[in-house]
Chains A and B, each alone.
Chain A
Amino acid sequence: MISKLLNTNTLIRSTISNRSLFRAKSVRQSFPGFDGQLVSSWPGTLFSLSLYLVASIAAFFSLSGVAGAVQQTSTADHSKFEQLRGPFENGPAVTKACLGCHTEAAKQLHKTTHWTWAFDNALTGEKLGKKNVVNNFCVATATNWPRCTSCHIGYGWKDDKFDLTSEVNVDCLVCHDTTGTYKKFPTDAGHPNYEPKMWPPKSGKVRQPPDLVKVAQGVGKPGRSNCGACHFYGGGGDGVKHGHLDSSMHNPKHATDVHMDVDGLNFTCQTCHTTGGHQISGSRYAPTATDEKGIDIPGRTDDSRASCESCHGNTPHGAQANAKLNQHTDKIACVTCHVPEFARGGRKTKMWWDWSTAGRKDQHGKPLVIKDADGYDTYDFKKGDFRWESNVVPEYRWFNGEVRHATMGKKIDDSAVVPINVTSGSYDDPKSRIWPFKVMRGRQPYDSENKVLAVPHLFGKDGDAYWKSFDWGRAIKAGFDATGQPFSGKFGFVETEYAWPVTHMVAPKEQALSCDACHSRDGRLAKLGGFYMPGRDRLQWLDWLGWLAVFGTLGGVSLHGLLRLLTAGKRRSS
């Protein structure tokens, strides 16, 4: 039955690619073994009829231009390629077949951050990327490779000896699968499971291995869910990390994201994050805080549509809009008004993660997990305390695109909250604009003598792994040892914060912030210093003095009038 369903998928896709209802029949015939397999019994006939119906509907939508994301314009039908007939033993075997024709693909991918997990920030000179940074979610990739690299676009990054020059270990399918059936197994260093396997462990829920042949034959342009498979689940779960990227973005509503709205514009990720040679534009490490190029046209472009201005320009508000809106674009990022809240798709995002409380057991001696009314875990013995929020109002900062990170081994000042990244910008800096941020806060382990954030060894089958022994001392030492850093033996937990620019989940324009949201005494920018803002700021002494004059005069003339009234009788009698 599963293989039949997969066939359905293929049929619909092929029909759409042919863009014609009437040619669906011929496409069916072009699939070896398709007819015989399905039209062998009455239920089979019914099934194939219903298939036909589904295909017709899909074709109709494709003709009327609604289908969007699934629409294919490719000149190649991969299901016709002999090289993809399989069978395939594993992921790398598929990649080998891909590379047979796409000879340069792996070389291109080797140059991307998606592959290297390393990023040289030209602006700050910092060495970033998942390999080098520390965050306040699962802290760091080092020593936890097989778990973390389930989101690497490769196969087999299970320790720090992974061969970054290997071509067959590039995972083509995770991005190019269009069947929706290919999933990397959470703990297998980027491989899908090749045998039925339980996840979560001992849960009784079995994950079937993907049908690599079907997946390989069904490759195409990535859709939202390809990127989303990792980017919606960053930080270890749905919506955990970003808050403006979560599973509600697979097929978002208009109210969640006007561009990706599945019934509207239906953008994919790369509609904006344009690609060339597998390089994907847009970077959180080196964001474009102010796109002065405006609308990109050939000859005048930064080869990226990953900024609002790339399509909307720097004066996007129409003639009927308040003229001040277009004047505001020099100092205010589009998303500041147009993403009034994040985590708006009905999912919550993690706002607080306190590692220091991890390891607790309930009264029966069983590992403790506490969930809130909506099913979100507010305590997990493996990870500590969490706070989840939806429809979150961002925090706002002046931002010019320069971010500095507390990378592995950097000294910290533990006398206050430790900023894991420091964003630059000010009112006086013409490259700065006001940007919205999700600020993730929490407490995480550090070497309290050397003043360095720990790289805890969390995942693994060995006894040093925190999730095996629940011994922080061992886990922290193992992490420091593995990354070649000294460890004083003393550790503690320090409060940290990490600012993430909010860029997705652009709301319908009716929901954009009104002027009052910021231009008021206790508005959203109440804490943003360095400039005078009408409606928010005043000189306190001038206000005191002014109202004293006004009410003093009012009191004076009232008294004067009262005295005149009181003396009026006397005047008349005299």
Chain B
Amino acid sequence: MARVRMYSRFLRLWHWLQALLVIMLLLTGFEVHGSYRLFGFEHAVDYHRLAAWSLLGLWALAWFWHLTTGEWKQYIPSPIDRVIAMLRYYGVGIFRGEPHPFHKDRWHRHNPLQRMAYLSLHVLIGPAIWISGLAYISYPYWAQLGLGGLSLAPVALVHTAAAFLMLTFLVAHLYLALTTSEAPFAYLKGMISGYEEISDESR
């Protein structure tokens, strides 16, 4: 076993700020959607707006970081057999105590399923949210922006659908990140300290 610096300072900052903002946005967003009452509609909208602009800024930095550091390559999908191996592991192997089929290192952080999930998050769910969100937030100016023909319902539909996907992602992510490490909460500790213990064979 060796202690490897797996997560850079920016990555951790990005991850945790994003986590905070996404949770805030989900909490306020579903209130604006009418699912429950928590802050009151006016405050919910204000917080949602603030968190949304913050997340947009953070995402812009994150995209820049991914593209300039080559980190984006960590999201390239794996060959299908490796994906199947992962699925088999979660479906069967994990119960039998079989070893994890994937061995991570600094430049291969994500298992094949993570690659797929995170890639969808970054290029599908994320853009769906911010594009529909920007349209939503600029509603009072649609006429001036030449978007007079747009109607709010489809914009809200896309935004809500993406929010449901984000919440679903969050549920699965929390389960896998918090419970599937070999030592208890090892992934969580790693994302805080930046260091992770990895087996020697994968180095």
A→B interface (CB under 8 Å)? 322, 324, 327, 514-516, 519-521, 531-532, 534-539, 542-543, 545-547, 549-550, 553-554, 557, 560-561, 563-564, 567, 571, 574
* Those 9 A-B pairs whose CB atoms lie nearest each other, nearest first: A546-B164, A571-B97, A557-B175, A532-B153, A515-B41, A567-B95, A327-B140, A515-B42, A532-B152
- Across the interface, name the chain B residue whose C-beta is closest to A571: B97
What's the Cα separation between A520 and B90 when bound, in Å?
Answer: 42
Rounded to whole Å, the gap between the CB of A180 and the closest CB of chain B is 45
A516-B40, A520-B34 are known contacts. Are A531 and B175 too (CB-CB below 8 A)? no
Quick check: which of B60-68, B103-111, B154-162 contacts chain A, the rest being far away?
Answer: B154-162
The contact of B165 among A515, A549, A554, by CB within 8 Å, is: A549
Q: Contact at B171–A553, with CB atoms within 8 Å?
A: yes
What's the Cα separation between A563 and B93 when bound, in Å?
Answer: 12
Q: Contact at A514–B97, with CB atoms within 8 Å?
A: no
Query: Considering only CB atoms and an 8 Å cut-off, how many residues of chain B contact the other chain?
Result: 32
Q: Contact at A322–B46, with CB atoms within 8 Å?
A: yes
- Across the interface, name the chain B residue whose C-beta is closest to A324: B45
Q: Contact at A554–B33, with CB atoms within 8 Å?
A: no
What's the Cα separation between A545 and B164 when bound, in Å?
Answer: 9
**Across the interface, which residues of A come within 8 angstroms of B172, CB to CB?**
553, 557
Q: Contact at A514–B42, with CB atoms within 8 Å?
A: yes
Q: Contact at A515–B164, with CB atoms within 8 Å?
A: no
Is there a chain A Cβ closer than 8 Å to B179's Cβ?
Answer: yes
**Across the interface, which residues of A come within 8 angstroms of B46, CB to CB?**
322
What's the Cα separation between A549 and B164 when bound, in Å?
Answer: 8
Rounded to whole Å, the gap between the CB of B116 and the closest CB of chain A is 15
Rounded to whole Å, the gap between the CB of B126 and the closest CB of chain A is 17
Complex interface bits, B105-124 against A, C-beta within 8 A gives 1, otherwise 0: 00000000000000000000
The contact of A535 among B34, B151, B163, by CB within 8 Å, is: B34
Is there a chain A Cβ closer than 8 Å to B168's Cβ?
Answer: yes
**Across the interface, which residues of B come within 8 angstroms of A519, CB to CB?**
32, 34, 41
What's the Cα separation between A561 and B153 when bound, in Å?
Answer: 38
The contact of B32 among A534, A545, A563, by CB within 8 Å, is: A534
23 residue pairs bridging A and B, Cβ less than 8 Å apart: A324-B45, A515-B40, A515-B42, A515-B45, A516-B40, A519-B34, A519-B41, A534-B33, A534-B45, A534-B152, A535-B41, A537-B34, A537-B153, A539-B157, A539-B160, A542-B161, A550-B168, A557-B171, A560-B175, A561-B179, A564-B95, A571-B95, A571-B97
What's the Cα separation between A536 and B31 when bound, in Å?
Answer: 11
Rounded to whole Å, the gap between the CB of A559 and the closest CB of chain B is 11
- Across the interface, name the chain A residue whose C-beta is closest to B172: A553
Is there a chain A Cβ closer than 8 Å to B94's Cβ?
Answer: yes
Give the residues from 125 to 149 in chain B that come closer than 8 angstroms, CB to CB, to chain A.
140
What's the Cα separation between A542 and B161 when bound, in Å?
Answer: 7
- Across the interface, name the chain B residue whose C-beta is closest to A546: B164
Is there a chain A Cβ closer than 8 Å to B37's Cβ?
Answer: yes
Give the residues from 11 to 65 in chain B that come closer than 8 angstroms, CB to CB, to chain A.
32-34, 37, 40-42, 45-46
**Across the interface, which residues of A come within 8 angstroms of B90, CB to CB?**
560
**Across the interface, which residues of B come within 8 angstroms of A564, CB to CB?**
94-95, 179
Q: Contact at A516–B41, with CB atoms within 8 Å?
A: yes
A534-B33, A535-B33, A574-B97 are known contacts. Are A520 and B45 too (CB-CB below 8 A)? no
**Across the interface, which residues of A come within 8 angstroms of B153, CB to CB?**
532, 537, 539
Rounded to whole Å, the gap between the CB of B55 and the closest CB of chain A is 19
What's the Cα separation between A520 and B168 when bound, in Å?
Answer: 24
Q: Contact at A534–B164, with CB atoms within 8 Å?
A: no
**Across the interface, which residues of A come within 8 angstroms of B163, CB to CB?**
546
**Across the interface, which residues of B come within 8 angstroms of A553, CB to CB?**
168, 171-172
**Across the interface, which residues of A come within 8 angstroms of B171, CB to CB?**
550, 553-554, 557
**Across the interface, which residues of A come within 8 angstroms of B34, CB to CB?**
519-521, 534-538
Q: Contact at A546–B41, with CB atoms within 8 Å?
A: no
Q: Contact at A550–B164, with CB atoms within 8 Å?
A: yes
The contact of B156 among A514, A534, A571, by CB within 8 Å, is: A534
**Across the interface, which residues of A come within 8 angstroms of B160, CB to CB?**
538-539, 542-543, 546
**Across the interface, which residues of B come within 8 angstroms of A534, CB to CB?**
32-34, 45, 152, 156
A537-B153, A561-B179, A567-B96 are known contacts. Are A516 and B37 too (CB-CB below 8 A)? yes
Q: Contact at B156–A563, with CB atoms within 8 Å?
A: no
Q: Contact at B32–A535, with CB atoms within 8 Å?
A: yes
Question: Could you list 5 further interchain pairs (A-B, Cβ under 8 angstroms) beyond the known A515-B40, A534-B34, A560-B175?
Answer: A519-B34, A535-B41, A546-B167, A571-B96, A571-B97
- B95, B161, B176: which has the most chain A beta carbons within 10 Å? B95
Give the residues from 72 to 113 in chain B that come closer than 8 angstroms, CB to CB, to chain A.
90, 94-97
What's the Cα separation between A571 and B95 when bound, in Å?
Answer: 8
What's the Cα separation between A571 and B179 when bound, in Å?
Answer: 17
What's the Cα separation between A557 and B160 when bound, in Å?
Answer: 23
**Across the interface, which residues of B come within 8 angstroms of A543, CB to CB?**
160
Rounded to whole Å, the gap between the CB of B93 and the closest CB of chain A is 11
